[in-house]
Amino acid sequence: MDSLNEIWACVLSNIASSGEFSEPTYNLWFRDLELVKLTNTYAIVDTKTQLKKDIVSSRYIYTLEKYLTDVIGFEVPITLEVYEETSFGKIKIVDEPKSPEIIFGDDIPEGQEGIQGNIDEDGLTHVLYNPLYTFDNFIVGNTNKFAHAACKAIAADAEHSYNPLFIYGGSGLGKTHLLYAITNEIILRRKNTNAVYVRGEDFANEMINSLSKKVPMQYFREKYRKADVLLVDDVQFIAGKPSTQEEFFHTFNTLYEDKKQIILACDRPVKEIPSLEERLKTRFEWGLTVDIQPPDYELRFAILKSKAIKFGLNLSDNILMFLADNIKGNIRHLEGAIKRLHATSLLINTDLTFDKVKECLQDMFSSSMPTGITVDEIFEMVSKKYSVAVEDIKGKKRTKELSNARHIAIYILRTITNLSLSDIGGYFNMHHTSVLSACSKVSEDMKVDPTLEHNVNEMIRTLTGQ
Ligand code: ADP
Ligand code: MG
């Protein structure tokens, strides 16, 4: 008896004939299980479905371990996984990133249906090809071009020119999209490269499972330390968890010393991750840090246009311009708007008029002023940050500090609310052209003054809760 199949057949037949379980129970929870890997220190069993995985792991895992020990003569912990049979071999199903809500259709670009994966020597793989997120369908603009270029370079040849690559930006701005685009590109074009994508949250959970011996530590370690390219999404979630940080520190060092590429995505700059160990902070900044900012008008327009085309929605440029002007915030909102319009156009079965579009998205326009944020809060925030009184920001005095704070307040109002230029001007007794020039000034200054850029973006993030 030397093959996995024979060992497993023996285990199952012992369970079936043990009298511990009724026949229906055996058929339901045991019969389809499959041993896919066995080493000196651990075993992996494929449960085929998530439901079975949940039930077996809570009720029958000790039974499985006991009967396996009986057959092989030594104890090994069993890890349960869900795999899918494909023409590429067995593919492990990993958790999808929180993907956008999909109303109609499968949202998969033509010609890219199906899944593929890198296959290691066991015929198993840790990544799934996710056709929702590729470089082809990532629209590049001023606010994300550096992050995009850095990711493209890594996907193309992993020359390790910047290691690690640290990408930060608010929610819904395309970080996960870029990480998956790299993973997908590697799966398709660099067959011998092992790309491992993991969310910080899952890394932390797997660490806990290993500590509590649900998953053998060695299995957990090998999975990450054998990566050629490790992509950690939402890395902020490992902060504040001592043993997870410790493990990640060693994973990082091992990969870094082996000149393997590490890419980290985070919802804030390194310095602002609370409770992250200093030694990790330092390492995260060893390579290249790039940020993604909320989309500017041009990018909003381009994204709306491209998503409308993808959904076969016929929207005039006028309508698209109106939407780009009125739906601010993140790219997920823009996508949501197009999906909703698509759904509506299918229902009414004609092209959408300007009025229909406005009616359909009314609540999105108001919600682009993030819920709960009032104009007063924006004034308060700027007043506190620059130690000037709110009345002075709104007033006419023109000292350097006051003009500066005033311009910044205008810029923030313009960026995160959907107030028109004249509405904003109303708060300052200003003509709308002066509002516009204040916005351009701040935006130009931010390009050359990193402290200003940081402060303004920090205030925006705090206000919008991103
Ligand atoms: P994050 O991880 O930063 O929260 P995601 O990568 O999940 O954001 O992006 C949110 C949604 O917006 C996804 O559906 C993604 O495909 C889409 N998206 C983000 N940036 C772009 C872009 N530049 N071009 C096209 N779609 C984008
Ligand atoms: Mg994400």
How many whole angstroms from 323 Cα to the centroid of ligand 1? 18
Half-sphere exposure in the Cβ direction for 216 (13 Å, CA): 17
Q: Whose CA is nearest to atom 9 of ligand 1?
A: 174
Exposure string over 176-205, b if 16+ CB within 10 A, otherwise e: bbbbbbbbbbbbeebeebbbbbbbbebbbe
**Quick one: which atom of ligand 1 is closest to the CA of 331?**
12
Q: What mean pLDDT do residues 24-35 have? A: 91
Bond from prior residue into 164 cis (ω within 30 degrees of 0):
yes
Q: Are 206 and 133 in contact (CB under 8 A)?
A: no
Q: pTM (2 decimals)?
A: 0.60
Query: Which position has the higher pLDDT, 254 or 1?
Result: 254
Residues 301-353: tens digit of each pLDDT: 999 999 999 999 989 998 999 899 888 878 999 999 999 999 888 888 778 88
DSSP state of 292: E
Question: Which pLDDT band holds residue 112 (cuts at 50, 70, 90)?
Answer: very low
* Mean pLDDT of all residues in 121-134: 59
Under a CB-based contact definition with an 8 Å cutoff, are residues 117 and 129 in contact? yes
Q: What is the CA radius of gyration of the chain?
A: 27
The confidence score (pLDDT) of residue 93 equals: 55
Query: Taking the CB of residue 250, how many other CB atoms lie within 10 A of it?
Result: 12
Report helix, strand or coil for 75. coil
Query: Of all helices (H) and strands (E), which one includes residue 199?
Result: strand 195-199
pLDDT of residue 441: 92
CA atoms within 13 A on the CB side of 450: 3
Name every protein residue with a CB atom under 6 angstroms from any ligand 1 atom: 100, 133, 137-139, 144, 169, 171-177, 303, 331-332, 335
Reply yes or no on whether the pLDDT at 200 is more than 80.
yes
Residue among 140, 292, 327, 331 whose CB has most ligand 1 atoms within 8 A, to mutate: 331
Predicted confidence at residue 54, as pLDDT, reads 87
Q: How confident is the model at residue 99 (pLDDT cuts 50, 70, 90)?
A: very low
Which residue puts its alpha carbon closest to atom 25 of ligand 1? 138
**DSSP state letters, 418-441:** ---HHHHHHHHT--HHHHHHHHHH
Pairwise CA distance, residues 33 & 1, whole Å = 19
Q: Is it the case that residue 366 has pLDDT exceeding 70?
A: no
The per-residue pLDDT for range 130-156, each reduced to its tens digit, is 778 999 999 999 999 999 999 999 998
Q: Identify the residue whose C-alpha is closest to ligand 1 atom 10.
A: 172
pLDDT the model gives residue 91:
58
Q: Atom 20 of ligand 1 has which residue's CA nearest to it?
A: 174
> What is the predicted pLDDT for the residue at 104?
25
CA distance 292 to 145: 8
- Looking at per-residue pLDDT, the higher value among 160 and 408 belongs to 408
Whether 178 has a pLDDT exceeding 90, the answer reads yes
CA distance 2 to 464: 60
Give the best-scoring range by mean pLDDT among 96-105, 124-133, 438-447. 438-447
What is the band of 128 on the pLDDT scale with cuts at 50, 70, 90?
low
Q: How confident is the model at residue 237 (pLDDT cuts 50, 70, 90)?
A: very high
Q: Which ligand lies nearest to the CA atom of residue 167 in the structure?
A: 1
Whether the predicted pLDDT of 113 surpasses 60: no
Q: In ligand 1, which atom is closest to the CA atom of 177? A: 6
Give the atom of ligand 1 at the shortest distance from the alpha carbon of 234: 2
User: Given phi > 0 = left and psi -120 to 50 = alpha, else beta, which region is 172?
Assistant: left
**What confidence tier does 75 reach under pLDDT thresholds 50, 70, 90?**
confident
pLDDT, mean of residues 58-63: 89
Residue 169 CA: which ligand 1 atom is closest?
3
